[in-house]
Amino acid sequence: MEKKHFLYKLYPPRPTFHLDQNEDERKVMQQHMEYWKELTNKKNAIIYGPVFDHKGVYGMAVIEVNDERQADEIAKSDPALLSKMCSYRLIPMQLGMIR
């Protein structure tokens, strides 16, 4: 079965979030980082990290899965979403080349 790919965009609760997280938010984001590290180790995440766009910082990941249902489950299991702190968008994509 051919793998499907999705761009996962994680939107913070406010524009200054990357600069002024409180202690509870930092704990959630640490869990978020561990979650995506585990997904990378399992080969479901190809790449992840913050994007410092001048219009606003957001998180991103490229997910490799069997189907959209699996991508949605991965996204909705992110601690940053489970905490209801962040929002997200999952966008189908076609993978070009990987180094």
Give the burial string for 65-99 (b: 16+ CB within 10 Å, else e).
beeeeebbebbeebbbbebebbebebeeeeeeeee
Angle at the Cα of 25 (from 6 to 79), degrees rounded to 5?
A: 35
* pLDDT in the model for residue 99: 73
Question: How far apart, in whole angstroms, are the C-alpha atoms of residue 42 and residue 99?
Answer: 19
* pLDDT in the model for residue 95: 86
Query: pLDDT per residue over 61-82, tens digit each?
Result: 999 999 999 999 999 999 999 9
- Contact predicate 80/13, CB 8 Å: no
pTM exceeds 0.85, yes or no: yes
What domains, with CATH codes, occur in the chain? 4-93 (3.30.70.1060)
Helix (H, G, I), strand (E, B) or coil at 31: helix
Per-residue pLDDT band at 5 (split at 50, 70, 90): very high
What's the rounded mean pLDDT across residues 36-46? 96
